[in-house]
A and B are shown apart, each in its own frame.
Chain A
Amino acid sequence: MSTEAASMPPTPALACRGLVKRYGSTTAVAGLDLTIAPGQLYAFLGPNGAGKTTSLRMIAGLLRPDRGEVTILGRSLAKDPIEAKRPLAYVPDDPVLYGKLRPMEYMEFVAALWAMPAADARPSAESLLQGLGLWEKRDAYIETFSRGTKQKLALAGALLHAPRLMLLDEPLSGLDAAAARLVKDLLNEFVRAGGTVVLTTHVLDVAERMAERIGILRGGRLVAEGRLGELCEQAGQAGGTLEDVFLRVTTAEPGR
């Protein structure tokens, strides 16, 4: 029995089946199929309007798909939304935080949303604010923060309830070099500890260095998917860079 259990594949951190989203006559996402195993950092790439953010928002439960299903750690987002959302965190590209709250008040609200016990939440919040260099700003209103500082606070809020799957839309935009390095280290550590990250980025270098697997979206379809080496082979660019693959896949005539 135990041998049988050990040989079973682990429950995917994220599984999407035939996700479709249309806005009027425009199809933003046209049948996305995706399975991501736990402990991976997955990067979504694609030109502007490819459907990256729409896909992430459907996975986060913020947009209702017209068709298809999302499963998070084995729980269906449509059938069991509360339990499916419990291990999930999402940071949009331009996070909306409460301008007239202080960082600890924001963290307290996030902890309450995920029903964290105060005894665990408070030390975690303090530790995250210290780790992300926000402790000195703990008495200031969030409206006085720069974009990068707000981005770091949103990330601290996302990490507070110890999620197992993080969805990050352009997590490094607006960050200076030191802050970007800090965030990258933090994400790598999160993945090493068994967490799963799905991020979108326009910085191919970030995807190339950090992601275990990469998916390239174009016109709402996943046109290439796999490890970097596999992508190069799929695109006939063996030994090439991710940039070569990206340009080839996203600028090729449809059908080729």
Chain B
Amino acid sequence: MRPLALQLWTVLHNDVRLLWRELLASRWSLLGNLGLIAILLALAHALAIALCVHAPHPPSLHVEAGAWLFFGFIMLGTAMTQATTLLFERADFHLLFAAPTSPHAVLLARMTALVAGSALSVGLLLLPVIDGLIAGFGLHYAGSYLVWVELAGLAAAAGVGFTLTLVRWLGARRARTTVQVLGALCGATVYLGIQAPGFLGEAHRPTAERLIDQIVANPLSLALARGGRGDWHTLLLLGASTLALLAATTWLLSRAFLEGAQETTSRPTRTHRREYRHHWRQSLAWVTFWKDLRLILRDPLLLSQILPSILYLLPALLGLYTTLGAATLAPLSVMVAGQLSSQFALVATAGEEAWDLIRMSPAPERRLRLAKMAAGMALPLALAATLCLALALAGRPGLALASLGIAGLCAAGGAWLQISHVRPSPRHDVVKERLKNSPGRLFGGMALMASGATAAGFYAHGNWFGGGMALAVCLVGFAGILALVKLRALVTPD
């Protein structure tokens, strides 16, 4: 067998080449994205440098330790969500594992990609901060670049280690779903943690701040902060620890990686002992609605990719909770319906697996797409209705009814935007690629949802004028969407 380094190079070289060609294939959107990133980076640099140059003294070690913990959590969340894709969803495992290639080399190559992915996930925020610190307080802060890479390595090793340990316990398919949810939770924890003192109220704020201080003052975050200030002993120690952790993860868990990849590349063998009684329907709209709803509900991996997106609404809602109390459920129901309907409708249309069957049939496509829209709205509206029911039981039935109506409006508007222009994509990539494929429609849906949630929030607060104004904006937005966005023909590869 060839040396491990050579095998690692072969796998990595192939991965990088494929990535490069994929990027070149969409070079215009790549150039557009790079242009946008360059502008954002320039602005962030200008701000960070101005702040640091005029600051009287550098941040305290504790503040820097907290910042490194913040970035570490984001990188860990990214590593966990990317680990499921890189470890189990690549199409080349049949070739790699049939060849005399060591699973260690394949796992190391995938972890190298994860280190790069985790590091880049915070680049837009972290790079201006580091450069600002260097400009303001001296070159010794260049140590932060090394800490950045080392922390990305630690996050990647921890993410892969956690994922593969779960694979041992739960099997690859369940582990994949669990890690998706936990990865999103990990990212959301940071936002929630930072905002905790704000929404806990005056009475609990000192306790929360003391708790955060204790969490920040752990030896690892302090070591990261010292390394970031250029302490070479700490940097070397961190580097050695990162390499050791990466090596240990590779050697100890490569077998779990191999077994997990084997399990996910083979077809499921689940058997159904229970006899299934199928109620046959005739109407195209009903059959399509139930088909798409079943496909959503029976796909835990898809649900685990979409449902955690609600977590990112929590900080704002917890902030509202201090003012509105239980009535926060009103804007929450609108946000849940608007946010999720848009995503599920996208999955039901762009993620449709058998467009060929549909396109060669004599079925009217408009009716099919409307049924898909309804299927995309069903689960979010059920969740919104549950929240509104809780609100009604809490003594605000009128508000609950109004919120449900606004939720329905936002759900329909968001879903319509997604079914109007369909560009088929592999089902599990649809959610990840939605920003790239339909930024205008995504932001349109978000604006509609924001106006609807604002209206519900004002009504919950008892501000009828504000609520009426926001609802008018929401209604005009909805009417505008229906009037201006027409159903367009399916975008097919030919």
Task: Confirm or deny: A223 has a beta carbon within 8 angstroms of a beta carbon on chain B.
Answer: no
Q: Tell me, in angstroms, the Cα distance from A105 to B360 when the chains sit together.
A: 19
Say whether B362 contacts A96, CB under 8 Å. Answer: no
A78 in the interface (beta carbon within 8 A): no
Chain A residues within 8 Å of chain B by Cβ, number: 44
Identify the stretch in B59-67, B141-149, B267-275, B306-314 within 8 Å (CB) of chain A at 4 or more residues: B267-275
A-side interface mostly: loop
Residues of A within 8 A of B23 (CB): none
Task: Tell whether, in the assembled complex, residue A112 and residue B360 are in contact, meaning their CB atoms are under 8 Å apart.
Answer: no
Pairwise interchain contact A112-B283, C-beta atoms closer than 8 A: yes
Asked if A115 contacts B284 (CB within 8 A), the reply is yes
Complex: chain A residue closest to B363, CB-CB: A113
A146 — which chain B residues lie within 8 A by C-beta?
Answer: 267
27 contacts between A and B (CB under 8 A): A62-B356, A62-B359, A62-B492, A63-B494, A85-B361, A85-B362, A90-B356, A90-B360, A96-B356, A98-B295, A99-B353, A100-B299, A102-B276, A108-B281, A109-B287, A109-B288, A109-B291, A112-B281, A113-B284, A113-B362, A115-B363, A116-B282, A122-B280, A139-B272, A141-B272, A146-B267, A157-B357
- B358 adjacent to chain A (CB < 8 Å): yes
Which residues from 112 to 128 on chain A have a C-beta closer than 8 Å to any C-beta of chain B? 112-118, 121-122
Query: Complex formed: what's the CA distance from A185 to B254 in Å?
Result: 49
Instruction: Specify which of B271, B275, B284, B360 is in contact with A88 (CB 8 Å cutoff).
Output: B360
Q: Taking the nearest CB of chain A, how far is it from the CB of B94, in angstroms?
A: 14
Q: Is B298 an interface residue (CB 8 A)?
A: yes
Which residues of A lie under 8 Å from residue B358 when comparing CB positions? 113
In angstroms, how far is the closest chain B Cβ from the Cβ of A141? 7
Docked-complex contact B295 and A100, CB < 8 angstroms: yes
Query: A102 to chain B: which residues have CB within 8 Å?
Result: 276, 278
Smallest beta-carbon distance A158→chain B, Å: 9
Structural contact, B275 and A139, CB atoms closer than 8 A = yes
Q: Is the CB of A113 within 8 A of B361?
A: yes
Residue of B nearest to A81 (CB): B362
A115-B362 in contact (CB<8A) = yes
Question: Cα distance A81–B271 when bound, in Å?
Answer: 41
Does the CB pair B268–A118 fall under 8 Å? no
Given contacts A63-B494, A92-B356, A100-B298, contact A114 B361 (CB under 8 A): yes
Q: Which residues of B are found within 8 Å of A96, using beta-carbon distances?
A: 353-354, 356-357
B304: min CB distance to chain A, Å: 15
Q: Are B295 and A83 in contact (CB under 8 A)?
A: no
Q: Name the residue on B nearest A161 (C-beta).
A: B361
Chain A residue at minimum C-beta to C-beta distance from B354: A96
Q: B271, B282, B299: which contacts A140 (Cβ < 8 A)? A: B271
**Residues 61-98 (chain A) with a chain B CB within 8 angstroms:** 61-64, 81-83, 85-86, 88, 90, 92, 96-98
In the bound complex, residues from chain A placing their C-beta under 8 Å from that of B271 are 140, 144
Is the CB–CB distance between B276 and A98 below 8 Å? no
A96 to B287, CA, bound (A): 18
Name B241-281 residues within 8 Å CB distance of A: 267-272, 274-276, 278, 280-281
Q: Which of B276, B281, B356 contacts A139 (CB 8 A)?
A: B276
Q: Which residues of A (179-232) have their CB < 8 Å from a CB of B? A: none
- Residues in A with CB closer than 8 Å to B174 are none
- Judge if B90 is at the interface, Cβ distance under 8 Å: no
**Which chain B residue lies CB-closest to A113?**
B361
Per-residue interface assignment for chain B, residues 359 to 387, with 1 indicating a CB less than 8 Å from any chain A CB and 0 otherwise? 11111100000000000000000000000
Take A98-B353, A113-B284 as given contacts and tell me if A138 and B276 are in contact as well, using a CB distance cutoff of 8 Å: yes
What chain A residues lie within 8 Å of B494 (beta carbons)?
A: 62-64
Q: Which residues of A contact B281 (CB under 8 A)?
A: 108, 112, 118
Q: What chain A residues lie within 8 Å of B276 (beta carbons)?
A: 102, 138-139
Report the minimum CB–CB distance from B52 to chain A (whole Å).
Answer: 53
Q: Please tell me if the beta carbons of A61 and B278 are within 8 angstroms of each other in the complex.
A: no
Q: Are A141 and B357 in contact (CB under 8 A)?
A: no
Chain A residues whose CB sits within 8 angstroms of the CB of B353 once the complex forms: 96-99
Is A172 close to B, CB under 8 A?
Answer: no
- The answer on a CB contact under 8 Å between B362 and A86 is yes
Which residue of A has the minimal Cβ distance to B285?
A112
Given A139-B275, A143-B267; A112-B356 close (CB under 8 Å): no
Q: Which 8 A-B pairs have the closest CB atoms?
A: A112-B287, A113-B361, A118-B282, A100-B298, A113-B363, A85-B362, A112-B284, A82-B362
Contact of B270 among A85, A115, A141 (CB under 8 A): A141
Q: Does B294 contact A (CB under 8 A)?
A: yes
- Inter-chain contacts of A62 with B (CB < 8 A): 356, 359-360, 492, 494
**In the complex, which of the residues B270, B274, B357, B492 contacts A113, with contact meaning CB atoms closer than 8 Å?**
B357
Question: How far is it, in angstroms, between the C-alpha of A141 and the C-alpha of B34 when the chains are bound?
Answer: 43
With a CB–CB cut-off of 8 A, which chain A residues contact B282? 111-112, 116-118, 121
Q: Which residues of chain B are within 8 angstroms of A61 by Cβ–Cβ distance? A: 359-360
Asked whether A101 is an interface residue with its Cβ less than 8 Å from the other chain, the reply is: yes
Closest to B298 in A: A100
Chain B, residues 148-190, CB within 8 Å of chain A (1/0): the string is: 0000000000000000000000000000000000000000000
B287 & A144 in contact (Cβ 8 Å cutoff): no
Max count, chain A CB within 10 A of own CB: residue among B269, B283, B357: B357
For B278, the closest partner residue in chain A by CB is A104
A121 to chain B: which residues have CB within 8 Å? 280, 282
Other A-B contacts than A96-B357, A144-B271, 9 sampled, CB-CB below 8 A, are A62-B360, A81-B362, A90-B356, A100-B295, A110-B357, A112-B287, A113-B357, A113-B363, A121-B282
In angstroms, Cα B315 to Cα A96, docked, is: 42
- Chain B residues within 8 Å of A141, by CB: 268, 270, 272, 298
Known: A101-B294, A102-B276. A114 touches B360 (CB 8 A): no
The 8 Å CB contact of A60, one of B283, B288, B360, is B360
Which residues of the other chain, B, contact A63 by a CB distance below 8 angstroms?
494
